[in-house]
Amino acid sequence: QKEVEQDPGPLSVPEGAIVSLNCTYSNSAFQYFMWYRQYSRKGPELLMYTYSSGNKEDGRFTAQVDKSSKYISLFIRDSQPSDSATYLCAMSNSGGSNYKLTFGKGTLLTVNP
Amino acid sequence: DVKVTQSSRYLVKRTGEKVFLECVQDMDHENMFWYRQDPGLGLRLIYFSYDVKMKEKGDIPEGYSVSREKKERFSLILESASTNQTSMYLCASSFLAGLSRGNEQFFGPGTRLTVL
């Protein structure tokens, strides 16, 4: 079983839709959870950073962590064509090895005008 | 804002050439990383460094070496480039995480390397 699983998509939605992106993981030691957005031919850009379980909201973006189910989500409200990108989840342990991030392979999202 | 810059956006080299990729960060981060990203394989860690002159192998170090002579600069070296090293190379940096600082990584724009 891979440590982090992420549906590669592609996911295509109309402008204004609510988008749900998800990752599951197997390592119960993961404590830090991140979402990155990567536009074509660019480097990943950090969108959301959360520690342990719960929700975090930033504008149109909401990150959720459910550690009991080993499941994290990113919701995008009122999606825009500019949200079209690949979304990567990432996570790490706490403690001495927390420098290392384990990434999902990314979900390609297209928001159609 | 954190800024991570990479020396080239696009690079074309020939098989057997020595290739240098440079990365500079301006946030006084302790950690610096080199990844490669390939379709279907995702991001894979090549090397990382947690301090000047310190380095540790990542998941795919074969065929690569690194150098960190200054805190802000981290170089990736392909001693003898091969066609299977054609890829997108991404540099990242982060703080040494502690109670008041997170471990999120900040990425540069990437270097698309083609080895012919």
pLDDT digits (tens, 9 = 90+) for B35-73: 999 998 999 999 999 999 999 999 999 999 999 999 999
Which of the residues A30, A32, A100 would you substitute to probe the B interface, choosing the one with the greatest number of B C-beta atoms within 10 Å? A100
Confidence (pLDDT) at B96: 77
The verdict on A64 touching B (C-beta cutoff 8 Å) is: no
Residue A16, token pair as written in the block: 């204004």
Q: What mean pLDDT value characterizes chain A?
A: 92
- Which residue do the tokens 């170090």 mark? B61
Closest residue by Cα to residue B71 from B89, B95, B90, B88: B95
Is the predicted pLDDT of residue A24 greater than 80, yes or no? Answer: yes
How many CB atoms are closer than 10 A to CB A82?
Answer: 8
CB pairs under 8 A between A and B: 50
Distance (Å, rounded) from C-alpha B84 to C-alpha B71?
A: 30
Q: Are strands A4-6 and A19-25 parallel, antiparallel or unpaired?
A: antiparallel
Task: Categorize the per-residue pLDDT at B112 as very low, low, confident or very high, splitting at 50, 70 and 90.
Answer: very high
Is the predicted pLDDT of residue A34 greater than 80, yes or no? Answer: yes
Distances (CA, A) of B9 to A42, A43, A60, B66, B91: 9, 11, 31, 19, 12
Query: Which residues are CB-neighbours of B55 under 8 A, at least 6 positions away?
Result: B47, B48, B49, B66, B68
CB contact under 8 A, A44 and B90: yes
Measure in Å the smallest separation between the Cα of A78 and chain B Cα atoms: 26
DSSP E strands: which ranges in B7-109? 10-13, 19-25, 31-38, 42-51, 54-57, 64-70, 73-78, 87-94, 106-107
Is the predicted pLDDT of residue A95 greater than 70, yes or no? Answer: no
- A46 contacts in chain B (CB < 8 Å): 104-106
Query: Which residues are CB-neighbours of B87 under 8 A, at least 6 positions away?
Result: B36, B37, B38, B112, B113
**Nearest residue in chain B measured CA to CA from A42:** B109
Burial of B83 (0-12, 13-18, 19+ CB in 10 A): exposed
- B42 contacts in chain A (CB < 8 Å): 88, 103-106
How many CB atoms are closer than 10 A to CB B105?
Answer: 29
DSSP SS3 for B114? strand
Confidence (pLDDT) at B95: 84
